[in-house]
Amino acid sequence: MNKYKCTFLLGLEESLEYRVNFALSLISTFFPIVIQTFLWTRIYNSPDAVIDNGYTYPQIILYSLLAGMVSKLVSTGFEYEVNLDIKEGGLNKYLIRPVSYLRYRLSAFLGKKVPAAGILCAAIAAAIIVAVTALSMSLTLSRVVLFAAALCLALLLNFIIFYCISMAGFWLTEIEKLYGTISIVLVVLSGGVFPLDIFGSLAARISVILPFSYTTQFPVNIVNGKLSMTEILTGMLVQAAWITALFILARILWNKGIRRYISAGG
């Protein structure tokens, strides 16, 4: 495990290398949150209002505060690096060494997340405190613990989703533009912009089946009281099931894709 520990530390160092870019990326996270807060405040008109989506005003405000930060926390970016490795022959150095490419990418991904995670987790804690004090929301310690556990599973789930997507580089030559489109679509499907419940019961039922809402909407709804304890535990089991299934899929795609790989460059 020492090689993966070193990869983790290298990912941590890389995330801190470009401090201005790191700071700006975090600052940009909060602009959509501010806009949505004003938007929902205008729509509800009253703190006691409940509109057709089933969210009370405190619930939707807490959702807006947390969804943007959770979406940023679980976001990826390594898929572009995977594409370059496949396209330019960078995989060569991993194939000739006793290193699992999946574990290498996971270690680097987690290492890069540590600095942002510290700041965003502090911001999430502040948002929860504001919701409890200023918005008079009730919150138990058990929900906070379950939220933290679901957030860890969400981080792992989003990683393996994008790892599977990045395996398309074995079959498609130019895929970088597609990654940007997929990222935007998945942010919406995860509930990172609006809760999927507002799109109707059909969208809500579909979101329960697909893995995407379990990366953002599900963890947030644990805290804002939209889910019962039974629904929370069931959702976490679904998270674990999707992670397991997608890890198996990732192995299958890797084994099939590596047969098509042309070792050029690198």
With a cut of 80, say whether residue 148 has pLDDT above it. Answer: yes
Mean pLDDT calculated for residue range 127-152:
86
Residue 137, Ramachandran bin (φ over 0: left; ψ between -120 and 50: alpha; else beta): beta
With a cut of 90, say whether residue 64 has pLDDT above it. Answer: no
CB atoms within 10 A of CB 74: 26
- The predicted pLDDT at position 263 comes to 67
Q: Quick one: tokens of 115?
A: 């600095």
Residue 174, Ramachandran bin (φ over 0: left; ψ between -120 and 50: alpha; else beta): beta
Q: What is the pLDDT of residues 93-105, one digit of tens each?
A: 888 888 889 999 9
Instruction: Report CA-CA distances (Å) from 12 to 153, 236, 240.
Output: 20, 28, 26
Q: Quick one: tokens of 160?
A: 């393996």
With a cut of 90, say whether residue 119 has pLDDT above it. Answer: no
Q: Which residues contact 88 (CB under 8 A, 6 or more apart)?
A: 265, 266
- The predicted pLDDT at position 36 comes to 81
With a cut of 60, say whether residue 266 has pLDDT above it. Answer: no
- The predicted pLDDT at position 238 comes to 96
- The predicted pLDDT at position 245 comes to 97
- The predicted pLDDT at position 251 comes to 94
pLDDT band at 125 (very low <50, low <70, confident <90, very high): confident
**pLDDT exceeding 90 applies to what percent of the chain?**
28
Mean pLDDT calculated for residue range 169-181:
82
What's the CA gap between 200 and 196, in Å, rounded? 8
What's the CA gap between 130 and 132, in Å, rounded? 5
DSSP alpha helix (H) spans, the chain? 2-17, 19-44, 57-74, 78-88, 92-95, 101-133, 141-166, 176-189, 201-209, 217-223, 229-258
pLDDT band at 60 (very low <50, low <70, confident <90, very high): confident
Q: What is the pLDDT of residues 185-232, one digit of tens each?
A: 898 899 888 888 888 788 888 888 999 999 999 999 999 888 899 999
Q: What is the DSSP letter of 169?
A: G
Length of the chain measured in residues: 266
With a cut of 80, say whether residue 133 has pLDDT above it. Answer: yes
Q: Which residues of 137-154 are buried (b: 16+ CB within 10 A; e: fewer)?
A: bebeeebeebbeebbebb
SS3 176: helix
Q: Does pTM surpass 0.85? A: yes
CA 37-42-45 angle, to 5 degrees, is 120
